[in-house]
């Protein structure tokens, strides 16, 4: 009997390679390739008056220098606006190399291709650019004031104004017994995967083929962009995703200028070319996220039930809008969380600033949304003097109310915002038990008696995961009995080779060890979307399950003929098809693969068994009508809409009475991602998400000065957490509410760990200090300043707000 594989914490098959230094990341490929370095703008806003390349042209080891003037055809056009939207009335994208004007420090102006990166950087340093300075617009205040414009033809610096809602929010708030107004903000952070961006390309003149390896989250998207920009047929471009050293969203944007310029140069020079981004480049030329100002007006009753919300926010999207409005749309819709809000109005403006572009970073607008909603609910609890968890429970959507539609709202995929399943009251009960909510006041009293300040915080989220349009799966059984699986989306550490193999092992009845999975290779899977929005397990997991079922159907058909029994009498275990109750009557999958492919030529022992003189019914064609040669299954999964995961984080902090340092005493996560394929991998995703959340709540911020210089563009100054900043233990409890929308009941889990973290910390710090927290992240110095301010204003509530 085959052991069930889904749900088991199986150790990853990827790791043997990765712990021995045998991984293949972008910079490990193509030894001897020429290397590209980029001249990036040192100014946030300037006109390019002249570029003098004289000092570079004769440098030994330099093969080419390109500026905008060297680009022709589609390469000379602006980069694509990947996700247009009717409300994005003033979308702008940059050129692969700046044309006339630069709009952020780090924008690419010229590239040098040389024997190695050292020479290429030497050459970049010798390019002379004269600039005419323009006034920079940095920060949301400056963008809103619009005293200066980022783009001359974008009035008010507003790319988009989007308004949605249902019911009558203004009316409900006006009539409500209680009202509150909150003005809060979240600062910029960034994904900062340990490996930056990287692209390698080789042009094969003989075959007319472009082979590209890119550290990307979307193989097919980069491929299509390269084909389109370089004037190649899609079929001439192969995009292979090598091992990717983390993505967290930043590698979904495409094409990056370098992803086009590398193949462009490879074709022009007839030599392989690579670009490997360094860390400073990553800070100033890859995307950031999170920065928003939020204004909330809410009306509610005596019990804390929300009657109406008006949510306005201003979203800083940086200098260009290649990824459209996805981040603010998600904020505006996922704000609703697990709550029944009867009347809702949301409006946002997406604003230009002379800073690095803003595109999805793990959570993608949800951390900001959850922060806004949960700050609001904490404020309601404080206003009414009732327990924060009670306010949440009173507003929860109930388990019998699914599917639950939020009025006429539409989600980031343009589909109605309808939750498929969940059980939020049970989640809350689990969260309170896990963190010890009811016992906390006793702990607070004990701590206070010792002169210590502690606080507890809680935050809930709902996350739309598994967004469409589709993914595919292809399962091939080889004559050896090995099962080869391909799906087009990419892998950046999620363990897809393991999790998808578990699905195939179960669905097909193969041995887990016999299943080998390839992701992100357009030669194997040319139709795909990408890995983002916690969609890989839902989308490709489902597609692969469906493909495996098709392969199984065919295997059973062939086996029924071979064994002369009825299909319904057969079962597959450990790669062997046998008659139920008569395991002696059997045939293995490898042999069925042989039989599935009638051959003219016997090129090895296995194929001898399948030549046309041996197999098949002589009364029928060798390949029967309706069949294809080979033992394969292929299918696509395309859901009507997203599936909604949910969870609650709770944290206990201690704040130092003197230094205002914030120590994490306990961190508890309860989450529901439907069916767990591999609990070990899911927990790893949660650990990593929480760590990024801790960084985003307490340490990480992009420090731009008023001239648009990023002052902390290094790991020395941008503080991503070491082990010393992360709680020693992250308590996790799972709840499983399967999704009815896909064959395995899966919901996404990749982003969840980071989503409610800043909200939970704001709640806990506020509870510890009795000072209202309105801006995250928060550093000890900022908390110290808040204490001084509160003392001066006499607004400290020493009793806490629990």
Partner 1 sequence: MPAPELTDVTLTVNGVQHEITVEPRRLLSDALRHDLGLTGTHVGCEHGVCGACTVLVDGKPTRACLMFAVAAQDYAITTVEGLTRPDGSLSPVQQAFKDCHGLQCGFCTPGFLTTVAAGIEENPDPTEDEARDMIAGNLCRCTGYQNIVASVLRAAELQAGESEESA
Nearest by Cα to 196 from 279, 304, 298, 75: 279
Structure tokens at 48: 């390019």
C-beta of 187: minimal distance to partner 1 in Å?
19
C-beta of 757: minimal distance to partner 1 in Å?
11
* Angstrom distance (rounded) from CA 640 to CA 635: 16
Instruction: Show Cβ contacts of residue 122 under 8 Å, excluding neighbours closer than 6 positions.
Output: 59, 114
C-beta of 433: minimal distance to partner 1 in Å?
21
C-beta of 758: minimal distance to partner 1 in Å?
16
Structure tokens at 713: 């563009």
* Run of H or E including 48: strand 46-52
Q: Looking at beta carbons only, is 716 or 788 nearer to partner 1?
A: 716
* Angstrom distance (rounded) from CA 32 to CA 116: 8
Structure tokens at 152: 């001359």
Length of the chain: 802
Q: Looking at beta carbons only, is 18 or 234 nearer to partner 1?
A: 18
Q: Looking at beta carbons only, is 245 or 708 nearer to partner 1?
A: 245
Q: Looking at beta carbons only, is 568 or 724 nearer to partner 1?
A: 724
* Residue at token pair 């360094």: 278
Q: Looking at beta carbons only, is 726 or 790 nearer to partner 1?
A: 726
Q: Looking at beta carbons only, is 249 or 299 nearer to partner 1?
A: 249
Peptide bond into 469 cis (omega under 30): yes
* Angstrom distance (rounded) from CA 311 to CA 173: 12
Q: Looking at beta carbons only, is 285 or 494 nearer to partner 1?
A: 494
C-beta of 283: minimal distance to partner 1 in Å?
10
C-beta of 587: minimal distance to partner 1 in Å?
35
Q: Tell me what percent of the chain is helix, strand and coil, each rounded to the nearest 5.
A: 30, 25, 40
Q: Looking at beta carbons only, is 18 or 181 nearer to partner 1?
A: 18
Q: Looking at beta carbons only, is 497 or 739 nearer to partner 1?
A: 497
What is the contact surface with partner 1 in residues (CB under 8 A)?
11-12, 14-16, 18-25, 27-28, 31, 59-60, 116-118, 122, 192-195, 243-246, 248, 278-279, 492-495, 680-681, 684, 686-692, 714-716, 720, 722-724, 726, 728-730, 753
C-beta of 191: minimal distance to partner 1 in Å?
8
CA 137 to chain centroid: 28
C-beta of 496: minimal distance to partner 1 in Å?
11
Give the CB-side neighbour count of residue 196, counting CA atoms within 13 A: 18
Q: Is 432 helix (H, G, I), strand (E, B) or coil?
A: helix
C-beta of 707: minimal distance to partner 1 in Å?
23
Q: Looking at beta carbons only, is 300 or 761 nearer to partner 1?
A: 761
C-beta of 250: minimal distance to partner 1 in Å?
11
Q: Looking at beta carbons only, is 191 or 765 nearer to partner 1?
A: 191
Asked whether 184 and 778 are in contact (CB, 8 A), the reply is no
What Rg do the C-alpha atoms of the chain give, in angstroms? 28
- Residue 66 has phi, psi (to 5 degrees) of -125, 140
In Å, how far are 436, 663, 773 from 666, measured between CA atoms?
Answer: 10, 9, 20
Asked whether 632 and 544 are in contact (CB, 8 A), the reply is no
The DSSP line for 288-333 is: BB--EEEEEEEEE-TT--EEEEEEEEEEE-TT--TTTTHHHHHHHH
C-beta of 288: minimal distance to partner 1 in Å?
15
């Amino acid at each position: 009997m085959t052991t069930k594989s889904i749900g088991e914490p199986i150790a990853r098959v990827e790791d043997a390679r990765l712990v021995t230094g045998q991984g293949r990341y972008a910079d490990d490929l193509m030894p001897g390739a020429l290397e590209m370095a980029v001249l990036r703008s040192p100014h946030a806003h300037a006109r390019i008056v002249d570029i003098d390349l004289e000092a570079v042209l004769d440098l030994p080891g330099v093969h080419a220098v390109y500026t905008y003037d060297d680009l022709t055809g589609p390469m000379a056009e602006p980069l694509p606006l990947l996700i247009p939207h009717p409300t994005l009335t003033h979308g702008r994208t940059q050129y692969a190399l700046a044309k006339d004007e630069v709009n952020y420090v780090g924008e690419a102006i010229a590239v040098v291709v040389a024997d190695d990166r050292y020479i290429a950087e030497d050459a970049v340093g010798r390019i002379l650019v004269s600039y005419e300075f323009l006034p920079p617009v940095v920060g949301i205040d400056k963008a809103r004031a619009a005293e200066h414009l980022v783009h001359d033809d974008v009035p008010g610096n507003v790319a988009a104004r989007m308004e949605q809602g249902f019911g009558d929010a203004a009316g409900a708030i006006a009539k409500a017994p209680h009202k509150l107004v909150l003005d809060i903000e979240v600062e910029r952070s960034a994904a900062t995967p340990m490996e930056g961006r990287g692209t390698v390309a080789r042009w094969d003149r003989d075959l007319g083929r472009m082979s590209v390896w890119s550290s990307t989250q979307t193989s097919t998207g980069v491929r299509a962009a390269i084909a389109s920009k370089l004037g190649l047929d899609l079929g001439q471009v192969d995009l292979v995703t090598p091992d990717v050293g983390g993505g967290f969203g930043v590698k979904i944007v495409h094409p990056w200028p370098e992803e086009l310029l590398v193949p462009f140069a490879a074709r022009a020079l007839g030599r392989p070319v690579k670009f490997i981004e360094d860390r400073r480049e990553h800070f100033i030329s890859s995307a950031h996220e999170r920065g928003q100002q939020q204004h909330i007006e809410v009306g509610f009753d005596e019990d804390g039930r929300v009657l109406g919300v008006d949510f306005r926010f201003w979203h800083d999207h940086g200098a260009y809008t290649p990824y459209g409005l996805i981040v603010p749309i998600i904020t505006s819709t996922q704000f609703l969380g697990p709550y029944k809000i009867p009347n809702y109005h949301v409006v946002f403006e997406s604003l230009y600033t002379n800073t690095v572009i803003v595109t999805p970073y793990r959570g993608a607008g949800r951390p900001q949304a959850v922060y806004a909603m949960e700050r609001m609910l904490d404020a309601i609890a404080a206003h009414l003097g009732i327990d924060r968890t009670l306010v949440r429970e009173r507003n929860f959507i109930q388990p019998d109310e699914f599917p639950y539609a939020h009025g006429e709202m539409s989600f980031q995929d343009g589909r109605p915002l309808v939750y498929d399943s969940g059980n939020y009251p049970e989640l809350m009960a689990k969260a309170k038990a896990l963190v010890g909510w009811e016992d906390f006041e006793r702990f607070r009293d004990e701590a206070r008696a010792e002169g210590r300040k502690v606080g507890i915080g809680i935050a809930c989220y709902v996350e739309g995961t598994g967004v469409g349009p589709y993914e595919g799966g292809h399962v091939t059984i080889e004559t050896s009995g090995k099962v080869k699986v391909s799906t087009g989306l990419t892998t950046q550490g999620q363990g897809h080779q393991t999790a998808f193999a578990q699905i195939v092992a179960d669905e097909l009845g193969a041995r887990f060890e016999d299943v080998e999975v390839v992701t992100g290779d357009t030669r194997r899977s040319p139709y795909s979307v990408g890995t983002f929005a916690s969609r890989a397990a839902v989308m490709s997991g489902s597609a692969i399950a469906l493909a495996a079922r098709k392969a199984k159907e065919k295997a059973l058909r062939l086996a029924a003929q071979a064994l002369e029994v009825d299909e319904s009498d057969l079962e597959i275990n450990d790669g062997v098809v046998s008659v139920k109750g008569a395991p002696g009557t059997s045939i293995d999958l490898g042999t069925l693969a042989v039989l599935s492919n009638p051959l003219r030529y016997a090129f090895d022992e296995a194929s001898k068994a399948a030549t046309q003189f041996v197999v098949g019914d002589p009364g029928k064609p060798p390949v029967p009508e309706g069949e294809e040669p080979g033992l394969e299954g292929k299918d696509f999964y395309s859901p009507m809409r997203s599936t909604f995961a949910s969870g609650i984080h709770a944290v206990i902090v201690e704040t130092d009475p003197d230094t205002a340092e914030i120590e994490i005493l306990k961190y508890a996560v309860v989450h529901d991602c439907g069916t767990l394929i591999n609990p070990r991998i899911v927990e790893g995703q949660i650990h990593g998400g929480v760590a990024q959340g801790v960084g985003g709540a307490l340490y990480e911020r992009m420090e731009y000065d008023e001239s648009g210089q990023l002052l902390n563009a290094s790991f020395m100054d941008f503080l991503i957490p070491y082990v010393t900043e992360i709680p020693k233990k992250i308590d996790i409890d799972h709840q499983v509410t399967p999704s009815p929308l896909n064959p395995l009941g899966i919901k996404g889990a990749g982003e969840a760990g980071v989503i409610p973290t800043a909200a939970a910390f704001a709640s806990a710090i506020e509870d510890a200090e009795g000072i209202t927290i309105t801006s995250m992240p928060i550093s000890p110095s900022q908390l110290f300043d808040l204490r001084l301010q509160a003392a001066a204003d006499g607004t400290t509530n020493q009793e806490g707000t629990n």
